[in-house]
Chains A and B, each alone.
Chain A
Amino acid sequence: MEKNIVLTMRGICMTFPGVKALDNVDFTLRKGEIRALMGENGAGKSTLIKCLTGVNKFEAGEIHVDGIEGPIVNKDTLDAQKKGISTVYQEVNLCPNLSVAENLYIGREPLTKIGTVNRRKMNEMAAQLMRDLDLDIEVTQNLENYSLALQQMIAIARAVDMKSKVLILDEPTSSLDDHEVSLLFKMMRRLREQGVGIVFVTHFLEQVYEVCDGITVLRNGTLVGEYTVEELPRVKLVAAMMGKDFDDLASIKPEGEKDMSHAPLEIEAKGLGHAGKIKPFNLDIHKGEVVGLTGLLGSGRSELARVIYGADRAQSGTLKVDGKEVNIKSPLDAMNLGMGLLPDDRKAEGIIGDLSVRENIILAMQAKLGIFKRIPMAKQIEIADQYIEMLSIKTATRETLIKQLSGGNQQKVILARWLATNPDFLVLDEPTRGIDIGTKTEIQKLVIKLADEGKSLIFISSEVEEMLRTCNRLAVLRDGEKVGELNADEMSQEGVMKAIAGGGANG
C-alpha cells in the first residue's frame, strides 16, 4: 500500500435481487484528503459506503485500511469503527436526552476504582475535546439543546476521538443553513490537517468545489472515474454523473419548435417560495406552452411545481392564474382552478393501490364534484373505458386493482385521472421514470398534443433529451433555487448541462 493512502477498495461487486448495485468499483482515499463521492440517485454511493462499513456484504473485491495487514471485511459498523472507519449520517444517531459528554463517551466511559462511571473525568475529557476542536459547547447540557449542525459536529467529534482514520459524512449538509455549513467545513478542514481521510457524500455541487480535494464519480453501479478537483470542472462533473461525454454532445434541436411567448399567460408566479424547499422564484407560463424544469435531483424542481399546485403551501409571493390573483391553500383549490399534478413518487402519492382502475381514474373528477355529486356508475364505466382505450392501458378489466398493474400502466391510470378533469394546467413530475421506451414516446406525444390544444404544462424529467424534445422553454434549478431560464434557441444538451452545473471559477 502506498505510504500516504489510508483506504483502498478494489473491484467491489454487490448484487441486490435482480440489480447489479456495484460492478467492480474502486475507491481510493489519501491521508488528509477530503474526497467527494458523487452520483445521481441509484448510482451506488450508499451501497458502496454500506459495503465499507459492514452494513452490506459485498460479493467480490478487497478493502485495505492503512495500518492493518491484508484485506479486511467488516462484520458491522461497530467492527468498522474498531478498524478506524466512522460514519456520520444525515440523521444524527446519538441520544438527544443524554448529555454531550455522555454521548461522546457512551460505551467507553472512564471508570472509577469501584467500577462506576467517573463523571468528573468524563466531563473534563469531553470539555478538552470540544476545546481542541474549537467548539463552544457546554458538555453537561443535554444534546437536544444544540442545533442539528452542532449535534452533527459532536457526532464527528466522537468519531475523531475514537482515532478514526477514515470519516464518512453521508449528506451532512442537507438540513443545515449556510452558516452551519461553513462551521462544518471549518471542522472538516481542521481534521484534514490532522491527517484524517474524509469521504463526503453530497448533492450540492457548490460545496464540492468549496471544500473537496478529489472527486470520485459513480454511475449505475460502476466507477466513472477518480479525479482531482482541478481535473473536473463543474460541467464535466455533471456530464460524468449523467453519463454524457461532454466532447461528444451533439446539439439536438427539437423539431417543430414554436415560440409561445406571445400567447396569453396561464400562470404568473412572483416570489413564490417555501422555506427549506424552494427559494422564492418568478415563473410565467403561457397558454399552450410546455415549460421544463431541469436540475439535478434535489435541486428543487419537484418542489417548485408543488408550491404552485399547493401540495406544499406557498409561504411567500403571489400567484396569478389566467390573469386573476389566487390563494391556493390545498390541492383541491388548485384543481378548482383547472390544475393537476402527477407526482414523481407514483407509489406514495399517485396510486390508491386497493382501489380499482376505474375508481382510480374517476378519483380526481369525483373530488372536484364533492361527496354528494356521485358520478353515476354508467358514466364512471364510460370514462374509465374511454381512457383505458385512449392510453392503451393494459389491464385485465376495469375493475382490476391498480396495484396489480405494471408501473407504466399505473402511470397511465394516474395520467388518465388528470386528463379526466380536463385541466388547463398540468404538472407532470417524472412521468416517464421506470417506464418502457414505447410508453415513454406515447407520453411525450401526449404532452405535445395537450400543448397544441392550448393547455399549459410543466414537464420534469431527469432525461435531458426528453426535455429538449417536448419543452418550449426550460427553467434551471440548482440547490433549491431557480437560477435561470433557457429559451428555445439556447436549448441544447451542452447548454442545459452548463446551466445545471452553474457558473463560477470552476465552470
Chain B
Amino acid sequence: MGKLKDITKKRLFLPIFSMILVILINVVYDIASGNPPFSFFSITIRPITGGSSVLFGRLIDILNRGSEVAILAIGMTLVVSSSAGTDISVGSVMSLSGGLCCMLLAGYGVTNVSEYASPLWVGLLAGVGIACVCGLFNGFLVAYLNIQPMVATLILWSAGRAIGLLLCNSQIVYVRVPSFQIFGSYVGIIPTPIIIAAVCILIASLVLRFTALGTFIQGVGINKKAARISGFNSSKIILLTYVICGLCAGIAGLVATSRIYSADTNNIGLNMELDAILAVALGGNSLGGGKFNLAGSIIGAYTIQSVTTTLYALGVSSAQAPVFKAIVVILIVVIQAEPVKEYFKKMSAKKLAAKEARS
C-alpha cells in the first residue's frame, strides 16, 4: 500500500498511467476481435517494396509516426516553462522549413526532380536555419518587446506556411532522390524518424543534465524578478528557448517533408502545434510555466500518437478520428486535473479511515 502511494506521488505517474491505459484498450480490442492478446506489442520484420526488409508492428508505427510531435514537444516544453506561453507557429514553421529545403534542392519553380539542384547539406542546413530564424523572431517579440507569446507567434503561424508556399511557387515540389527520402524512410530495418527523434531527445536530455540550462529556464519561468536580481538575463534565456523551439520545428519539418519526399506546404505540420502543446500538457507540465518535465512531454507526445494509431486500428475513419481523439484527451486531462486528484485523495483517505474504524 505504502509503495503504491509512493509511485502515485511521482510526477511521471499520470502520464505513464495514461499511456498504459491507451495500450490496454488495444489489448482488450485484440482479445475481443480474436487476435492474439499481445499482438499490439508484436514486432516482425517484413519486406517492403524495393526489396529490403524492415521492422513492422503497431508499436513501431506509433514510435515512427510520433517522431515529429516528440521533437516539437522538446522545444515546446522549454518555451512553456520560460515564458508561460505557447509557440503556436511550429506547425507553420515546419512547412516553411520543408518548403525552403525542397526549393533549394529542386531549384525555384521546378516541381519534380530526380537530381539535386544544390547539395543536400545546403538544403537541410537552410531548412533548419530558417526555422531558427523564425524562433529568433518569435523570441525577440516575446522576450524583448513583451508581446504575449500567443500573439507574437500568431504572426508566423499565419505567415510561415504562406512564405513556404511562395518559395515553392505555389506548387508541390517533389524531390525524388533516395538520399533525401532516407530521413523519412528507413536506415537498415529501423525507421529513420525514430532514430532522429531518439537523437534529439538524447541531446536535449544530455544538455539538461550537464548544463545549468534547466535551472536557468525554470528560474526565469517561476519568478522572473527574483531571477533577475540573482543575476539571470531573463530576456536572453526566453529568447534561447524560442530559438531551440524553432530548431526543433525545423528538424521535424524536414522529417515530415522527407516522408512524402515533397514540399506539400499546405499540409506539412498542419495543426501539429496543437499536438505539441497537448503533449506538454499531457506530460503533467503546467502551461502556466515554471517547473517542467521533459520526459513527461515526450511520453505525452507518444500517447497522442498511440491514441491516433489505436483509433485507426479500431477501424475509425480518419475523418471521424478527431472526435474519438477528443474524448480520450478529455479523459486523460481530467484524471490529471488538480480538483480530481484532490477528490481521489479525499476518497482514499475516507476509505482508510473507514478501514481503521472497522479494525
Contacts and interface: CB of A to CB of B under 8 A. Distances in A.
Same complex for A and B? Answer yes
Contacts, number: 75
B122 interface: no
Interface in A363-381: 363-364, 366-375
B231 A355 contact: no
B225 interface: yes
A124 interface: no
A341 interface: yes
B13 interface: no
A311 interface: yes
A81 B161 CA distance: 57
Interface stretch (B63-71, B84-92, B191-199, B213-221): B213-221
B229 A354 contact: no
B56 interface: no
A335 B215 contact: no
B226 interface: yes
A398 to B, nearest CB: 15
B233 interface: yes
A107 B228 CA distance: 45
Interface in B80-131: none
Interface string A349-363: 111111100010001
A370 to B, nearest CB: 8
A68 interface: no
Contacts of B210: 374
B225 to A, nearest CB: 5
A351 to B, nearest CB: 6
B211 A371 contact: yes
Contacts of B225: 348-349
Given A352-B223, A354-B291, A355-B218, A364 B230 contact: yes
Contacts of B227: 352, 363
B323 interface: no
B283 interface: no
B230 A417 contact: yes
A363 B228 CA distance: 11
Contacts of B222: 352-355
Contacts of B230: 331, 363-364, 367, 417
A84 interface: no
Given A351-B226, A353-B223, A354-B222, A366 B233 contact: no
A76 B21 CA distance: 54
B357 interface: no
A332 B219 CA distance: 15
Contact of A366 (B212, B226, B291): B212
Nearest to A377: B209
Nearest to A368: B231
B232 interface: yes
B290 interface: yes
Given A349-B226, A355-B218, A355-B222, A371 B213 contact: yes
B229 A331 contact: yes
Given A332-B231, A367-B232, A354 B218 contact: yes
B189 to A, nearest CB: 38
B215 A366 contact: yes
| B223, B230, B290, most chain A CB atoms within 10 A | B230
B212 A335 contact: no
Nearest to B209: A374
A201 B232 CA distance: 38
B65 to A, nearest CB: 34
Interface string A396-424: 00000000000000000000010000000
Contacts of A363: 215, 219, 227, 230
A331 B228 contact: yes
Which of B210, B218, B226, B232 gathers most chain A CB within 10 Å? B226
Given A354-B218, A363-B230, A375 B223 contact: no
B212 A374 contact: yes
A364 B231 CA distance: 6
Contacts of A375: 212
A359 B215 contact: yes
A145 interface: no
A9 B210 CA distance: 65
A371 B216 contact: yes
Contacts of A351: 223, 226
A364 B232 CA distance: 8
A367 B222 CA distance: 15
Interface in B285-307: 290-291
A229 B222 CA distance: 48
Contact of A367 (B211, B213, B231): B231
A367 B215 CA distance: 9
Contacts of A295: none
B231 A331 contact: yes
Interface string B230-253: 111100000000000000000000
Nearest to A367: B231
B233 A330 contact: yes
B226 A352 contact: yes
Contacts of A373: 212
Contacts of B232: 332, 367
Nearest to A401: B291
A359 to B, nearest CB: 6
A343 interface: yes
Contacts of B223: 348-349, 351-353
Contacts of B228: 311, 330-331
Contacts of A366: 212, 215-216
A124 B212 CA distance: 67
Contacts of A343: 226, 229
B212 A369 contact: yes
A355 B219 contact: yes
Interface in A29-85: none
A341 B233 contact: no
A352 B217 CA distance: 12
Contacts of A355: 215, 218-219, 222, 291
Given A354-B218, A355-B218, A363-B219, A372 B211 contact: yes
A373 B216 CA distance: 12
Contacts of A335: 231
Interface in A424-457: none
A79 B119 CA distance: 78
A359 B227 CA distance: 12
Interface string A316-360: 000000000000001110010000010100001111111100010
A352 B231 contact: no
Contacts of A367: 216, 230-232
Which of A363, A372, A373 has the most chain B CB within a 10 Å cutoff? A363
B287 to A, nearest CB: 14
A369 B232 CA distance: 11
Contacts of A364: 230-231
Interface of A: 311, 330-332, 335, 341, 343, 348-355, 359, 363-364, 366-375, 417
12 contacts: A331-B231, A332-B233, A348-B223, A352-B218, A352-B223, A352-B227, A355-B222, A359-B215, A367-B231, A371-B211, A374-B211, A374-B215
10 smallest CB-CB distances across A and B, nearest first, come from: A367-B231, A332-B231, A374-B212, A335-B231, A364-B230, A352-B223, A349-B225, A354-B222, A352-B222, A363-B230
Given A331-B229, A335-B231, A371-B211, 14 more contacts: A311-B229, A330-B228, A330-B231, A331-B230, A350-B226, A354-B290, A364-B230, A366-B215, A367-B216, A367-B231, A371-B213, A373-B212, A374-B211, A374-B212
Interface of B: 210-213, 215-216, 218-219, 222-223, 225-233, 290-291
